[in-house]
Structure 1
Amino acid sequence: MRYHNITKDDMLNGEGLRAVLWVSGCDHGCKGCHNSITWDPSGGIPFDAAAEKELFEAIDHDYISGVTLSGGDPLFMGNRQEMTALTKNIKERFPNKNIWLYTGYRWEEINTLPIMEYVDVLVDGRFVEDLKSAKLHWRGSSNQRIINVQKSLKNGSLYLYHAE
């Protein structure tokens, strides 16, 4: 897996102050994507032990609510195995932090993936430029949903996330 950046104090990509991992690789090709530089799976730099240490140090502060995984697409086929291992590791090391994941895939396509066991909130669906609005919170276009993953998995139906 490769990545482009680790943001250490983000307030736009999920609730609270967050660390964000921007991974490489996306095959959705959404028109108007704000981060098309991350589409190339061979772009960026390798996510190695030093990068993981940097991410964990960014998460390991009382004022950080959690981590957001974005990109590119964390669920790009070439990222799935490593992202699952990473989210499992984050949950084990930081059980009180939440994990948000942004993907162009729809919940119905990915809800059975093993990674979902570790994700708290999922923002799903491709970005649609014609549905873009600056008034939307935590998503780029109105077709995208903010999903409470654990409640959805537990109850077997989709539950949207509501900030507390």
Structure 2
Amino acid sequence: LYWNTSDWLPWLAMQALFAAVFAAVTQWWFNIRWPIVFTVTLAFMLSVNIYRLPPSPISPTEIAKMNDSLPRQFDGITIESVSFAHRVFTFQASSPEPLEAADLKKSLGADSGIVAEQCKTFGKWLATRQIKQIQYVWSWPGGTYSLSIEARDCQ
């Protein structure tokens, strides 16, 4: 399961709210102590509804496989690591030679093929917010450049 607070906290709050209301009504009508009813109801609700949490679009196993094949070099830039945390899919890359951020921005901007390629690959997860952002971070001696792709970039 994909345990991100923005996904499961509202869900957990609804489970607890239902259990609290049920416990209050049960104590009022049947004079059964509310802590017992609340605990049993919450445990039941969680066990029955846990499958409704959204699955992770990219499993930790897949991330580990991607990182096993790294570092990999493309056009003088070395992709060092891939990570997926807090719904952000991040590619870390570096170059031993100084790069010009303006050139990177021009060649990797919205008009470049990289955005279209990533939208094609990850578009359905971006649309459903299972992936909030795809981020590329390039670093070199003396500078860093970051490119973020979000759902609105894929429309």
Provide the TM-score with structure 1 as the length reference: 0.26
Provide the TM-score with structure 2 as the length reference: 0.27
Which protein is bigger by CA-based radius of gyration? 2
